[in-house]
C-alpha cells in the first residue's frame, strides 16, 4: 500500500492548489484523479490568472487560450465590453497534473472507487487508469472531487435546482468568442473555439421545465438555440455532434467542511451557479488558504477548533458573497418577472444587499483567526458588517490597534493619533481611508 501524509482526492483547481501548497509546506502529498468524463469548455476572467500563477499552475496556464470577446445580452440590452479566456477543461486538468508532479506531488491517475476512515487516517481504493488496482493511505484527507464528491450525511444548504445542458456543435474554423443571452426560462452561454468547435449551454430550472426523454434532448436543444438571436453566429453553417451532456448547477454549501483530519475544498465544499463564471476563481479562493488550515490541524492540534472555524467561515462567506452577486445579476433581468426561473433566482439566497451601509458604531475590533506563516493564529482585527471575518492588515499595518488608539482619544483628530505610530504622511492617508470606509 502507498502511504503519504496527505491524500488529496480530485485534481481540479482546488485539489491542485491545496496539494501544491501542502507540498511546499514539506508534506508528502499523494493526489488521485481521473479526467472528467466529458469535454467541457469554461470561461475565466483575467483576475483568475493571477491566482493561478500564485498557486503554481505554470503548465495549466499555458493550456489556456488568449482572451476572446464576450457579448452579453441581458434584459434586452447587448454589451460587448468584456473578454474571457476559454479553458478546455480536459487539457487544463491534464496540464495541472504535470504542474503537480513537477512540484513534488505524487500523482496517481485513476478512479477512486471508495475511501474509508481508518483508526488513524484514510484509505482509498483506486482503479488505475493504466490498469490494475491500488490502495492508497493518507494520515489526512483532502476531499476535492468537485460536485462529484460523496456527501452522504453531510448537512447541506441548496439553492434552486438548476441544470445546464451542453450541446457540442461543429462548424468551420472561426474567430474564438463567447456570448450570453437570457430567455424566458433560463439563459445560454455560447462559446466558439478557433477549430470550429462550439459549446452551447442552456441553463434551466429543473422544477419548471418539462425536458423531453434523453433521445429527443438533442433536437430539443437545437430548437431552443434556433430561437436565440445571439446563438445564430454559433449555429450557422454548423451541426450538433454527439450527445447532450447534462450538468447539475444547483448552488450547494456543505455546512461542515473540516474535521480534525479531513477538509473539503472547492466545489466539494461549496459550488454556486455558473452564471457568475467564477467557479474556478472560487475553487481557488477556497483552496489557497486551506494548506494553512491543514498545517494547523496537524501541527497545532491545540488550535484545531480555531482552524476549523476559520475554514468554515471562509467557505460560507464565499458562498453567500457569490450567491448574492448572482441574485443581483438575475434581478437585472426584468422581461419575464413571472416565470419560475427568474422569480426564484432574483430572491435567493436572501434580501441582504451586497454592500451594506456602514456607520462607525457598527465597526468593532475583535480577536479572529488569521493566516500567518502557513498556520492559523488568532489576532486582533477590525470587524464590519461587510467583513464579518475581519480585516487584519492594510499595506503591512495592523488596523485593529490603530482603530482602538483613535477611539481611546475621542477629542483628537484621527490623523494626529495615527501620526504618533505610523508617521505624519502615512497617518494622514490612513485616517482618510478609515473615514472613507466610515470606520471613524
Footprint on this chain of ligand FAD (rule: CB under 6 A): 10-15, 32-36, 42-44, 93, 111-112, 144-146, 148, 164, 247, 249, 266-268, 271, 274, 277-281, 283
Taking the least distance from each CB to ligand FAD, the nearer of 7 and 144 is 144
Least separation in angstroms between residue 169's CB and ligand FAD is: 17
Which run of H or of E encompasses 91?
helix 89-102
308: which residues sit within 8 A by CB, 6+ positions away?
258, 259, 260, 293, 297
Taking the least distance from each CB to ligand FAD, the nearer of 15 and 121 is 15
Q: In 3-state terms, the chain is what percent helix, strand and coil (to 5)?
A: 35, 35, 30
Contact (CB, 8 A) for 218 and 183: no
Least separation in angstroms between residue 407's CB and ligand FAD is: 42
DSSP code string of 159-178: -S-EEEEEEEEE-S----EE
Q: Could you give the C-alpha distances from 237 to 41, 114, 170, 192, 355, in angstroms and in order? A: 21, 46, 9, 13, 46
Taking the least distance from each CB to ligand FAD, the nearer of 43 and 186 is 43
Least separation in angstroms between residue 40's CB and ligand FAD is: 7
Q: Could you give the C-alpha distances from 102 to 58, 95, 96, in angstroms and in order? A: 10, 11, 10
Taking the least distance from each CB to ligand FAD, the nearer of 181 and 249 is 249
Backbone dihedral angles phi then psi of residue 245, each to the nearest 5 degrees: -110, 125
Q: Could you give the C-alpha distances from 208 to 160, 343, 414, in angstroms and in order? A: 11, 11, 56
Taking the least distance from each CB to ligand FAD, the nearer of 21 and 414 is 21
Backbone dihedral angles phi then psi of residue 411, each to the nearest 5 degrees: -85, -5
Least separation in angstroms between residue 200's CB and ligand FAD is: 12
Taking the least distance from each CB to ligand FAD, the nearer of 183 and 281 is 281
Say how many Å lie between the first and final Cα of the chain, rounded. 60
Taking the least distance from each CB to ligand FAD, the nearer of 164 and 296 is 164
Taking the least distance from each CB to ligand FAD, the nearer of 205 and 304 is 205
Least separation in angstroms between residue 149's CB and ligand FAD is: 7
Taking the least distance from each CB to ligand FAD, the nearer of 58 and 360 is 58
Least separation in angstroms between residue 9's CB and ligand FAD is: 7
Least separation in angstroms between residue 302's CB and ligand FAD is: 30
Taking the least distance from each CB to ligand FAD, the nearer of 282 and 384 is 282
Cell reading at 264: 473539503
**Residue of 53, 26, 90, 8 whose CA lies nearest to 265:** 8
Whole-angstrom distance, CA of residue 35 vs CA of residue 61: 17
Least separation in angstroms between residue 247's CB and ligand FAD is: 4
Whole-angstrom distance, CA of residue 34 vs CA of residue 393: 40
If you ran DSSP here, which 8-state letter would residue 240 be given? E
**Residue of 48, 33, 42 whose CA lies nearest to 283:** 48
Least separation in angstroms between residue 387's CB and ligand FAD is: 24
Least separation in angstroms between residue 36's CB and ligand FAD is: 4
Contact (CB, 8 A) for 186 and 209: yes
Cell reading at 117: 476512515
Whole-angstrom distance, CA of residue 290 vs CA of residue 219: 44
Amino acid at each position: 500500500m502507498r502511504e503519504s501524509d496527505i491524500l488529496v482526492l480530485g485534481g481540479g483547481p482546488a485539489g491542485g492548489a491545496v496539494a501544491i501548497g501542502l507540498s511546499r509546506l514539506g508534506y508528502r502529498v499523494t493526489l488521485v484523479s481521473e479526467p472528467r468524463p466529458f469535454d467541457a469548455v469554461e470561461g475565466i476572467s483575467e483576475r483568475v490568472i493571477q491566482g493561478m500563477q500564485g498557486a503554481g499552475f505554470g503548465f495549466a496556464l499555458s493550456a489556456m487560450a488568449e482572451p476572446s470577446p464576450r457579448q452579453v445580452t441581458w434584459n434586452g440590452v447587448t454589451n460587448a465590453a468584456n473578454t474571457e479566456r476559454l479553458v478546455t477543461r480536459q487539457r487544463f486538468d491534464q496540464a495541472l497534473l504535470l504542474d503537480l508532479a513537477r512540484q513534488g506531488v505524487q500523482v496517481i491517475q485513476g478512479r477512486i472507487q471508495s475511501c474509508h476512515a481508518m483508526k488513524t487516517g484514510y484509505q482509498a481504493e483506486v482503479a488505475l487508469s493504466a490498469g490494475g488496482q491500488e490502495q492508497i493511505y493518507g494520515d489526512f484527507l483532502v476531499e476535492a472531487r468537485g460536485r462529484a464528491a460523496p456527501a452522504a450525511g453531510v448537512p447541506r444548504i441548496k439553492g434552486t435546482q438548476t441544470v445546464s445542458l451542453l450541446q457540442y456543435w461543429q462548424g468551420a474554423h472561426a474567430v474564438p468568442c463567447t456570448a450570453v443571452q437570457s430567455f424566458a426560462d433560463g439563459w445560454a452561454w455560447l462559446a466558439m473555439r478557433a477549430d470550429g468547435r462550439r459549446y452551447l449551454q442552456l441553463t434551466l430550472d429543473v422544477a419548471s421545465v418539462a425536458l423531453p426523454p434523453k433521445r429527443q434532448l438533442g433536437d430539443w436543444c437545437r430548437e431552443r438555440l434556433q430561437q436565440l438571436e445571439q446563438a445564430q453566429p454559433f449555429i450557422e453553417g454548423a451541426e450538433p455532434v454527439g450527445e447532450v451532456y447534462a450538468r447539475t448547477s444547483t448552488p450547494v454549501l456543505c455546512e461542515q467542511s473540516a474535521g480534525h483530519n479531513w477538509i473539503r475544498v472547492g466545489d466539494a465544499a461549496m459550488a454556486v451557479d455558473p452564471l457568475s463564471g467564477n467557479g474556478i476563481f472560487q475553487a481557488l479562493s477556497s483552496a489557497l488558504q486551506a494548506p494553512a488550515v491543514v498545517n494547523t490541524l496537524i501541527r497545532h492540534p491545540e488550535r484545531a477548533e480555531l482552524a476549523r472555524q476559520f475554514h468554515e467561515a471562509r467557505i460560507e462567506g464565499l458562498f453567500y458573497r457569490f450567491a448574492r452577486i448572482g441574485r443581483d445579476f438575475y434581478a437585472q433581468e426584468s422581461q419575464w418577472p413571472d416565470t419560475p426561473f427568474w422569480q426564484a433566482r432574483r430572491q435567493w439566497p436572501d434580501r441582504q444587499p451586497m454592500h451594506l451601509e456602514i456607520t462607525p458604531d457598527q465597526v468593532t475590533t475583535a480577536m479572529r483567526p488569521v493566516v500567518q506563516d502557513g498556520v492559523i493564529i488568532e489576532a486582533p482585527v477590525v470587524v464590519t458588517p461587510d467583513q464579518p471575518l475581519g480585516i487584519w492588515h492594510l499595506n503591512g499595518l495592523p488596523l485593529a490597534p490603530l482603530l482602538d488608539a483613535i477611539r481611546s482619544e475621542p477629542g483628537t483628530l484621527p490623523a494626529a493619533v495615527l501620526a504618533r505610530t505610523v508617521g505624519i504622511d502615512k497617518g494622514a492617508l490612513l485616517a482618510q481611508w478609515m473615514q472613507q470606509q466610515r470606520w471613524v
